[in-house]
Structure 1
Amino acid sequence: MSEKIKAKKPFYKRWWFIVIAVIVIIGAIGSMGEEDADKVETTSPVVEETADEKAARETKETEDKVATEQKALEEAAAKAEEEKVAQEEAEAKAKEESIPREHKSALKKAESYVETMYMSKAGVYDQLTSEYGEGFPPEAAQYAIDNIEADWKESALKKAQTYAETMDMSDAAIYDQLISEHGEKFTPEEAQYAVDNL
């Protein structure tokens, strides 16, 4: 009876176990190959930066940063200048609007006397305030004198040239006429400039 009992094979020697083991091994090898292929496809080679390349890159970054900051500063300065000009224009306009009409008229009349008749500062003031002249109030005439843009020495010279050319006067006579209270009322310095430059 003992002869009829066959000895059992260990499970790892049975045919079905060997088939399963072979399938598992083949599957494992296949998946390892796919992972290696993925790694090869997705991994790009790392290129190391040389010292010169790094220095060039850092220099460019610094230059770009400086250029950006410079541009920002220039834009801020331009904006500040525009605001300053706008403020000055607004202040000038407000000041202009606050000036009385009569003061503006006196200034225009004073400019006309200087440009066409080459009058002195005192002569212009007297003409503006004279009851036989323009009849402006003293404050309007003073505003005109304070705000007129005139070169009084050049006015004296042009007046002296008129006397020299039309009346053939001597230098001394011209000088006296220029400084006279009953004449042109230029200052001695202005009259001397005129005579010296005839």
Structure 2
Amino acid sequence: MSEFLSRSESYLPFLLQGLWLTVLVTLLALCLATNIGLLWALFRTSSVNLLVVPTRFFVEFVRGIPLLVLLFYIYFVAPEIGVNLTAFQSGVLGLALAHSCYLSETFRAGIEAIDKGQIEAARSIGMRRPLMMRRVVLPQAFRIVLPPYGNNIILLLKDSSLVSVISVTDLTMQGKMLASSTFDNMTVFTLVAFLYLCLTIPLNLLMRRLETTMGVGG
């Protein structure tokens, strides 16, 4: 045990560099995914077929592609048509696109769960759709979608480990490099798993606290 702790102490600084990048990738991808996913949801719930049909096709198309393949496509194929992104940019964009499509369905379900009577009442007093969505629909929809949204944040955090396959030096990549140089697979990947838990468990507790504060499920 003392030997394990001694090795862990020497490995941690190297792994913490990757942990920081994992957090950064996750935060950037989450911000993009949330905004893009909300946009897709608004398009899907509109009455304009020119918005509904292409958005539905795009969402289903992206959801049908494995995230790993999407990352490969953005990083390796996109440069062939003149879109040159770094590994970091490709990782963030791939995660954001994939999770925006999952979030769009979550947001759409929340929007459609709002009582139609409230929407009709807002229209009856002359509210246009943008104002009605901002003041009436979205605040209530947010409470409804909070639990699945929290789950998606955790899934996004764990999915961020896939960016290591396109050479992003996140926590997983740092772990692989450290293990290949030390051949101490057990210690290294035990630490990697532990560091991921240090992110996911507090995040899960935070989301539950937020749900309780907002009275979700009450």
- Identify the structure with the greater helix proportion: 2
TM-score, length of structure 1 as denominator length: 0.22
TM-score, length of structure 2 as denominator length: 0.21
Structure with bigger gyration radius: 1
Identify which of structures 1 and 2 has the higher relative contact order when contacts are C-alpha pairs closer than 8 Å and 6+ apart: 2
